[in-house]
Amino acid sequence: MKSRQLGPLTVSEIGYGTMSFSGTYGASPERSEAIRVIRGANERGVTHFDTAEAYGPFTNEELVGEALSPVRDQVTIATKFGWNIDPETGERRPGLNSKPAHVKRAVDGMLKRLKVETIDLLYQHRVDPEVPIEDVAGAVKELIAAGKVKHFGLSEAAAQTIRRAHAVQPVAAVQSEYSLWTRDPEPEILPLCEELGIGFVPWSPLGAGFLTGKVDPGASHEAGDFRATSPRFTPEAKAANQALVDLLRRVAEAKEATAAQIALAWLLARKPFIVPIPGTRKLERVEENLGAAQVVLTADDMDEIEAAASAIPVEGDRLPAAVLQFSYR
């Protein structure tokens, strides 16, 4: 696996998002199986792993901490604060909370759960409109000075917010949803990252599995799977959006690859500072995803994909309204 610069961090060019082990896509596998898959990803070259206190809450950080403790010196671990979660009990409360005192308490819990002395990359999960971003950046700056955090990141933040935060504490990475069917970061976020030397991490780079071509357009999703309530996964939206999967499959056939590999290779080819974090609960899918690094998309290939994709209108909002309201502030 080749490396890329994610801001100041050197990481594998494809990382691994671990959220799916916390019930987001329905029932989670046994803990021993989850650890086997996470460790298997590292054995296959992944060095960048992503989690958050909100996944569970807390259980995902504990899982990642246990899985990666034997290889702690070989990996970078990113986690996130920002939702209104009690740092001691894990009780979810309405809304967001990025008050500096709360952030510092949250980080103390993260360090214990992740079994680390310092967090490699700490993101604000969503921008809290009640707390000036300068105050949030200042709190993380103090955590860095204290040796509890190495680098600061922002998730789903607006361009101006990123710039303001960066003026207080350099932002190492920005994380937002980005894929062939979610291209919101292109007009402002990616150019800003390029200008400021900030890495960019696309979450859900495979469109919550849809872009792999393995989601049956006519099938319903089980209870507990967030896609059951996602506007982009209604039967009508899936039928309309199938054209994107067909496009990926056509390119994949020509490249002797899979649709998932083309979707990831497309992201890798967009900018050299992009490090996608596909998530999966199956080791064979980890292997498939990592195969994307071997797929070469030429400038002509990228132009062909762009021309075809621009003629396909994407149906449905990318997230339910209750979640989408917290993005790009």
Show the tokens assigned to 264: 């990831």
For the cut 80, the answer to whether the pLDDT of residue 223 exceeds it is no
Show the tokens assigned to 131: 């707390």
Quick check: 233 and 314 in contact, CB under 8 A?
Answer: no
- Report whether the peptide linkage leading into residue 278 is cis, meaning its omega lies within 30 degrees of zero: no
Q: Please confirm, yes or no, whether 178 is among the known catalytic residues.
A: no
**Cβ neighbours, 10 Å, residue 82:** 26
Res. 26 pLDDT band, cuts 50 70 90:
confident
Nearest of 51, 22, 21 to residue 34 by alpha carbon: 21
Q: How do residues 293-322 score in pLDDT, each as one tens digit? A: 999 999 999 999 999 999 999 999 999 999
Domain 3-206+271-294 in CATH 2.170.190.11? The answer is no
Res. 55 pLDDT band, cuts 50 70 90:
very high
- Paired residues of 173 in beta bridges: 153, 199
* pLDDT given at position 308: 97
Locate the domains of the chain by residue range.
3-206+271-294
* Identified catalytic residue from 25, 55, 123, 178: 55
- Report whether the peptide linkage leading into residue 57 is cis, meaning its omega lies within 30 degrees of zero: yes
Q: How do residues 60-116 score in pLDDT, each as one tens digit? A: 999 999 999 999 999 999 999 999 999 999 999 999 999 999 999 999 999 999 999
Q: Computed from CA positions of residues 209, 211, 216, 220, in that sequence, does the dihedral angle turn out positive or negative?
A: positive
Show the tokens assigned to 317: 């909002």
